[in-house]
Chain A
Amino acid sequence: MCLAFPGKIISINGQQATADFDGVQKDINIGLVPDIKKGEYVIVHAGFAVQQLTKQDAWEVLKEYEKGNKII
């Protein structure tokens, strides 16, 4: 129920940051992820970064799952 899009932080200015979304750049509010660093990825909802995005995509998760590794 939450339209959100992944973006890469390319510059930070206090509580604002510029994020790049597949070649589209927008200023977003990073107040909810204050420790985020330049070059890291976030999910953006309604103009705000809600959480840091790390690398594991669905197929990697499936691979680990089938190996029997518990995913946390």
Chain B
Amino acid sequence: MKKEIKLSEDLIKKIHNVANEIGRDIVIMEVCGTHTQTVSRSGIRKLMPKNVRLLTGPGCPVCVTAQEDIDAVIHLAKAGIPIATYGDMLRVPGFFGSLEQVRAQGAKVFSVYSVEEALALKKDYPELVFFGLGFDTTTPMTAMALKKGLTVYSTHKLFLPAMDALLSMGEIKIDGFLSPGHVSAIVGIKPYEHMNVAQVITGFETQDVLVGIYMLICQIRDGRREVENEYVRLVKQKGNPVALKMIADTFEIGDGNWRGFGIIPNSGLEVKNPKLNAKIKYKDILSKVDYSKSKKPTGCRCGEVIRGLIMPEQCPMFGKICTPEKPYGPCMVSDEGGCNTEYRYN
């Protein structure tokens, strides 16, 4: 433990030295919600040089789930369709309430830890729909379950198009990315190379993030724009081809509806098999949902937080109307959301 602490202290000093050499203010985006958590929980944020700004990105699947999708699944639940969902989604408020509230009113909503539990539930509830949520790391599991006959409402998304969108929207100048370690375990390293921005694929322990930040600011200092890999122990050049094939077999790529970004082309994953695609199977129920309410601006500025445009405190509801106890928007519900992390750790 003492050795770890010394190594960390030395590395923090090195980070400060390099930041000094750079001189100007730089912006690093931690795209992954889990990176934001590590940075806040371990105290890294407070120890960073003043000219290095660590910004949270859209790597929180709960936060970027469109309100329309939440409202759609809630309508399915209200119509008597049993729903299985990862626990993360239970408390996210759509316009018509949250899955947890709908459950309290009598709807069958099951919280599962793994799709295998959903498959087991399907034996007792043949009409069960699994609320498929997550990026490239979580999609392969849903893909496996689709092969076993699970019906899915998919809000699965490919993550890299969001990084492309951030860069092309150019709303903020991003000097470098701490790229998502577990997404990369699936997709490998090559898919990042076209982005022409400094990035380091980073793991999630405190020491991973420190080393990742160090490697990244060295790139920025040197003016390099490479894809480097800190998470060597997990991320292989080719990623996980078995997982990628499974996704390709069961999903097709289309438009993705991202809260905060709107539509990002080629980022959404739709279930190929119409018999297992809840959006097609339950078209009748879903066509009756009044999505105009979903689109109404609710005052929640999650979208801008996700895009790194504002800090959570700049949202007028932050900490006053919107708290982890009574969240208004997904950034506050999810433990990985920027607003939630900011509220709890700062």
Q: Please determine if A and B sit in direct contact within the complex, based on CB atoms under 8 angstroms apart.
A: yes
Please give the residue numbers on chain A whose beta carbons come within 8 Å of chain B beta carbons, in ascending order: 1-4, 29, 31-34, 43, 45-48, 50-59, 61-62, 65, 71-72
Contact A62-B214, Cβ < 8 Å, known A3-B34, A43-B182, A72-B237 = yes
Please give the residue numbers on chain B whose beta carbons come within 8 Å of chain A beta carbons, in ascending order: 7, 11, 32-34, 59-61, 86, 113-117, 134-135, 137-138, 140-141, 144, 180, 182-183, 185-186, 189, 203-205, 207-208, 210-211, 214-215, 228-230, 232-237, 240, 242-243, 246, 336
Q: Are A46 and B228 in contact (CB under 8 A)?
A: no
Contact A2-B182, Cβ < 8 Å, known A58-B207, A72-B189 = yes
Return 25 A-B CB contacts under 8 Å, by A number: A1-B33, A1-B134, A1-B180, A31-B144, A32-B144, A32-B242, A33-B240, A33-B242, A43-B182, A45-B141, A46-B115, A47-B114, A47-B116, A47-B141, A50-B186, A50-B243, A51-B185, A51-B235, A54-B234, A55-B233, A58-B208, A61-B230, A62-B214, A71-B232, A72-B237
Bound-complex Cα distance A44 to B204 (A): 14
Q: Are B240 and A62 in contact (CB under 8 A)?
A: no
Q: Are B34 and A1 in contact (CB under 8 A)?
A: yes
Contacts of B59 in A (CB 8 A): 1
Contacts of A58 in B (CB 8 A): 203, 205, 207-208, 210-211, 230
Contacts of A2 in B (CB 8 A): 32, 34, 134-135, 137-138, 180, 182-183
Contacts of A54 in B (CB 8 A): 232-234
Bound-complex Cα distance A32 to B334 (A): 27
Which of A34, A50, A57 is in CB contact (< 8 Å) with B140? A50
Ranked nearest first, the 3 interchain pairs of A and B with the lowest CB-CB distance are A47-B114, A2-B182, A58-B207
Q: Are A45 and B228 in contact (CB under 8 A)?
A: no
Q: Are A1 and B240 in contact (CB under 8 A)?
A: no
Q: Are B189 and A46 in contact (CB under 8 A)?
A: no
Bound-complex Cα distance A53 to B203 (A): 12
Q: Are A51 and B240 in contact (CB under 8 A)?
A: yes
> Can you name the residue of chain B whose Cβ is closest to the Cβ of A70?
B228
Contact A72-B229, Cβ < 8 Å, known A1-B180, A46-B114 = yes
Which of B7, B60, B235 is in CB contact (< 8 Å) with A1? B60
Q: Are A57 and B233 in contact (CB under 8 A)?
A: yes
Contacts of B210 in A (CB 8 A): 58
Contacts of B242 in A (CB 8 A): 31-34
Contacts of B7 in A (CB 8 A): 59
Contacts of A48 in B (CB 8 A): 114, 140-141, 144
What's the least CB distance linking A16 to chain B, in Å? 9
What's the least CB distance linking B120 to chain A, in Å? 12
Bound-complex Cα distance A46 to B139 (A): 11
Contacts of B336 in A (CB 8 A): 1
Bound-complex Cα distance A33 to B113 (A): 20
Which of A29, A46, A53, A65 is in CB contact (< 8 Å) with B233? A53
Q: Are A62 and B34 in contact (CB under 8 A)?
A: no
Bound-complex Cα distance A38 to B33 (A): 32
